[in-house]
Amino acid sequence: MTHYGQIYIDGAWVDPSTDATRAVIDPTTEAAFASVGQAGVADVDRAVAAARRAFVGFSQTSVADRVALIDSIIAAYKARAAEFADVIAREVGVPVSFAAQVNGPVGHMEVARDLLKSYAFESRMGDTIIRREPIGVCALISPWNWPIQTSVIKLIYAIAGGCTSILKPSDASPLSAILLAKVLHEAGVPAGVFNLIIGRGRVVGEAMAAHPGVDMVSFTGSTGAGVKVGEAAARSIKRTCLELGGKSANVVLPDADLEKAARWNIQRCFMNTGQSCHAPSRMIVHEDQVEAVLPFLADEAARFVIGDPRDPATTMGPAVSEGQFATVQRYIQSGIDQGARLVCGGLGRPEGFERGYFLRPTVFADVRPDMAIATEEIFGPVLAVIPYRTEDEAVQIANDSIFGLGGYVFGTDRARGYRVASQIAAGRVCFNGAATNSLTPMGGYKQSGIGRSMGVFGLEEYLEVKSVYGFAPEAAGLPEHV
């Protein structure tokens, strides 16, 4: 078993201030295959100090220099893509066949780089210059379900904006973060511009969020954890960007292609073993069409190839941990206990699996909107099919949630589809399975979060706005672009 005992601060690998360690469990075998050291509050202080020192110079770098740095990061990342795929398969259970987990970050880095080339950091309103300036030191706290992509989106926009950062990965995915730190070191990221802290959220995560030397916190994770981060950050009145839980609805209008809607819903809901905050885990179907759609759902669920995530043939790996496996089992049991009809899947491991946190792709029908499986985020391959009578009722069911991260609409009439999409209270709504765009903002309504990531909106989370008065357009000595 390999031990990774160090953290990355001020451009160097250093020993943490504590002797504590934590095992990394392979969810396929349920056995520990590595261990990591655990940082403490003193290490957060060291990382923040390093980031503050680095910010003085890095905040003044030119756009051209930051573009060149991002290019170097992209090249170093691509050289280790196969390593990333292997690491996240072992520590999280993501199949190597799920290429988006590894290739997606490259696209996000390229979008940030290209946006940086054209973004107007200075503009004019009459005799006033409006400046966008880097906000400062950023605490980045990322989840395990998209361990590389989420971390990359946060840090690359921080770099693009001229900020310095400290990254804390999830306890379940520290090894991919260590590999990411190696990439940044190899790419020549200046000392202190990026720092890596590994440790428990309630210790180092809270210390990062509360630290007076941190200017901004970007957190992705559960709504419960996001509340704690927000409370800690509020003590020093710092900006927070929170992407939290979801219980997204897919409203299937009566004129929709039912088979297309059903097969797409299963694939999008169950990808990554259902461990996605945007998963359409509620499928809202007209009451006269429920029985017609169920065979398509069951057939598509049966098409997943469940197995070792390092096998290229596998399309569904295990849940990330024993705790997550148990959580999904409890929700399946609650669905049965509350009277929902089990269409496929159910309790226990799939046939032929005696170990590993593998789950059975599960679909429930006859789900009432007040059932736990319809209201709470399960984070597993479990779909609740909810009937509706009228369009207004469908929208009401979709919006009857504390969450508002994603939404989906299927239908043939585009005008009607847009009308429904416009009424769904969510940060992202896709029509007929349309792909999302990395240039566009991602974030949530209600308890799904605060702020936005990606594209211009994501970049501006890392920027402050300053008005500078008294400079008429003809004033001498100003940069030409002002």
The overall average pLDDT reported for the chain is: 96
pLDDT class of 1 with cuts at 50, 70, 90: confident
Cβ neighbors of 27 (< 8 A, separation 6 or more) are 92, 93, 317, 318, 319, 320, 321, 356, 357
Q: How far is CA 204 from the centre of its chain?
A: 20
Q: Is 259 a catalytic residue?
A: no
Q: Is 243 a catalytic residue?
A: yes
Question: Are the beta carbons of 364 and 373 closer than 8 angstroms?
Answer: yes
> Does the structure show a pLDDT above 60 at 264?
yes
Question: Which parts of 18-99 fold into alpha helices (H)?
Answer: 41-58, 63-79, 81-91
> Does the structure show a pLDDT above 80 at 479?
no
pLDDT class of 395 with cuts at 50, 70, 90: very high
> Does the structure show a pLDDT above 90 at 316?
yes
What percent of the chain lies above the pLDDT cut of 70?
98
The conformation of residue 312, written as its DSSP 8-state character, comes to T
> Does the structure show a pLDDT above 70 at 70?
yes
Residue type, 312: P
What percent of the chain lies above the pLDDT cut of 90?
96
> Does the structure show a pLDDT above 90 at 449?
yes
Going 366 to 371 to 377 to 378, the CA torsion angle's sign is: negative
Domains and CATH numbers, the chain: 2-244+448-468 (3.40.605.10), 249-431 (3.40.309.10)
Is pTM, for the whole model, over 0.85?
A: yes
pLDDT class of 470 with cuts at 50, 70, 90: confident
Q: How far apart are CA 163 and CA 180, in angstroms?
A: 18
Residue 482, token pair as written in the block: 């002002």
Residue that the structure tokens 């379940």 belong to: 172
- Mean pLDDT, residues 463-475 taken together: 82
* Annotated active-site residue in 277, 300, 344, 461: 277
DSSP sequence for 90-132: HHT---TT-THHHHHHHHHHHHHHHHHHH--SEEEETTEEEEE
Q: How far apart are CA 32 and CA 16, in angstroms?
A: 21
Q: How far apart are CA 354 and CA 332, in angstroms?
A: 19
DSSP sequence for 336-374: HHTT-EEEE--SSPPTT--SSS----EEEES--TTSHHH
The conformation of residue 13, written as its DSSP 8-state character, comes to E
pLDDT class of 482 with cuts at 50, 70, 90: very low
pLDDT digits (tens, 9 = 90+) for 153-164: 999 999 999 999
* Annotated active-site residue in 91, 206, 243, 461: 243
Report pLDDT for 125: 87
Give the total residue count for the chain: 482
